[in-house]
Chain A
Amino acid sequence: MTPLAKLLEAALFASAVPVPVDALRAMAKHADDGESTLDSALAELRDHYDTDGHGVELIEVAGGWQILTRPEYTEAIERAQLAARPQRLSAAALETLAIIAYRQPIGRAEIEEIRGVGAGAILKSLHERALIDIVGRGEGLGRPLLYGTTPAFLEQFALRHLEELPRADELAIALRAPRQTPTSVAATKDNGEAPPRAD
């Protein structure tokens, strides 16, 4: 490995959280390794783990890089009680997170409108887990708090950045939507039971 790749490996090993790209870049600049750039050194380290057969791998996440154990060793590590998988989030929490991720900054009322249920307790819980943060206050009555996702959210969902989530127009249902305009269904004598199709 080049000296820079080894330096980065040491730095990433020393950190318990993803090391931001800016911090790595500063280290690379300081190290002044003529032959390799930050990108080439990171690629070298990743290839080193992938091709030589290592128990860990290099992951790009939340605007930084991190060394993580490979999934095939999860169970053995958990059995040995060296580490434990974090708890899963409830469906309600995931729905709320999904809405915030796409619509941020977003207020509580809008979230509740989309989900059809109260969101207060879940917002509080997500905020306590540092997955969301208050990013501002909206216009209008009561100047409602507006929520947004945090870097911890990206980290927990193995996202490099928010753009890695599927774009709204890539979602299956969005592609089906223009098939028929629900507001202009042809008039039928409808008794509420399976009205005839408009096509």
Chain B
Amino acid sequence: MDDVALVSPTRATDPGPSEVFLVELAEFSGPLDLLLSLIRDEQIDIYDIPIARIAEQFLARISTLKLDEAADYLEMAARLVRIKAQMLLPKREGDDVWDDPRAELVRRLLEYQQVREVVDVLERRSEDRRGRFARAYTQQQIQIPVAGPLTISLPELLSAVDRVLRLARKPHIHDVVPRALDVDGAIGIVRALLSIRAHAHWRDVVPKKAEPWEVLSLLLALLELAKLGELRLAQPRPFAAFEITRDPSSEAA
């Protein structure tokens, strides 16, 4: 008889990693599957199973399949032998209705057969679905760095440090040069100028391309000298360059 033809042809994949010793033959997914296959082979009515014959065949099959170590199959074998023994017991006299020792087995087989029918449906549907492809786009997972022990060698670490240092070697920081205003020096310049000229303009005092500190120093010097009365400042009209005049009274002093 042909075992393979009786069972579903699609039994390809491994059910996955298992932590238990798992007996799964290519042909049978369990003792009920094997039993059902025997029943179909012999074209037996499931409601009227010749237990002795089936039990013998079941035992023969599991020994040829090297299944005799599998507890699940052995348990079924024991169950069959027990049912066989119960069938041999004479029925009690006066009993009209006999409790068939096979009843529980039949119930389980029918239930299992239903499962197999559903499996056929599932197999058809999954085969149909397997032949159709969806768009394969998968969203890029943003990798969130997880805190864990570093797995990095010393050379890797050093070269990483080197990269960082090379990037950070020239920090562009503005240099602040402390330069105090030289008001005294500016006063000297103005006095020297006024010693040779009675009148001067702002632009005569301030050198071309003067630094801001020089401009400020000269301005403060002029104001200081004006306060001291050594000179007078005058602006003929708004925004005009102001004129510097030697104070005649100071000259007199």
Quick check: is B123 within 8 A (CB to CB) of the other chain?
Answer: yes
Task: Establish whether residues A159 and B13, one from each chain, have CB atoms under 8 Å apart when the complex forms.
Answer: no
Quick check: is B169 within 8 A (CB to CB) of the other chain?
Answer: no
A89 CA / B139 CA spacing, docked (Å): 26
Quick check: is A144 within 8 A (CB to CB) of the other chain?
Answer: no
User: Which of B47, B96, B122, B123 neighbours the largest number of chain A CB atoms within 10 Å of its CB?
Assistant: B122
Q: Among B24, B125, B134, which residue has its beta carbon within 8 angstroms of that of A67?
A: B134
A189 CA / B138 CA spacing, docked (Å): 68
Q: Among A17, A83, A88, A117, which residue has its beta carbon within 8 angstroms of that of B13?
A: A88
Quick check: is A192 within 8 A (CB to CB) of the other chain?
Answer: yes
Interface residues of A, CB < 8 Å — how many? 76
Task: Establish whether residues A16 and B134, one from each chain, have CB atoms under 8 Å apart when the complex forms.
Answer: yes
Q: Which of B35-84 contact A (CB under 8 A)?
A: 45, 47-48, 50-53, 55, 72, 75-76, 84
A161 CA / B246 CA spacing, docked (Å): 106
Q: A166-B121, A194-B50, A197-B48 are in contact. Are A185 and B72 (CB under 8 A)?
A: no
Q: Among A59, A74, A187, A191, which residue has its beta carbon within 8 angstroms of that of B52?
A: A191
Task: Establish whether residues A183 and B100, one from each chain, have CB atoms under 8 Å apart when the complex forms.
Answer: yes
Contact partners of A93 in chain B: CB under 8 A: 13, 15-16
State how many angstroms separate the Cβ of B80 from the closest Cβ of chain A. 10
Task: Establish whether residues B29 and A191, one from each chain, have CB atoms under 8 Å apart when the complex forms.
Answer: no
Q: A157-B126, A197-B48 are in contact. Are A114 and B16 (CB under 8 A)?
A: no
State how many angstroms separate the Cβ of B38 from the closest Cβ of chain A. 14
Task: Establish whether residues A70 and B132, one from each chain, have CB atoms under 8 Å apart when the complex forms.
Answer: yes
Contact partners of B130 in chain A: CB under 8 A: 85-86, 88
Quick check: is A198 within 8 A (CB to CB) of the other chain?
Answer: yes
State how many angstroms separate the Cβ of A116 from the closest Cβ of chain B. 4
Task: Establish whether residues A122 and B16, one from each chain, have CB atoms under 8 Å apart when the complex forms.
Answer: yes
- Some 15 contacts from A to B, beta carbons below 8 A apart, are A70-B132, A74-B131, A89-B13, A90-B12, A92-B29, A117-B23, A121-B15, A121-B18, A128-B16, A166-B121, A173-B117, A177-B110, A180-B47, A185-B100, A193-B50
New A-B pairs, 18, CB < 8 Å, besides A89-B13, A115-B112, A172-B117? A16-B136, A16-B137, A59-B132, A68-B133, A90-B13, A90-B29, A102-B118, A116-B32, A117-B29, A121-B15, A125-B15, A158-B128, A185-B98, A189-B90, A190-B88, A192-B55, A192-B87, A192-B88
The 7 closest A-B pairs by CB, nearest first: A125-B16, A192-B52, A121-B18, A187-B98, A98-B118, A68-B132, A117-B30
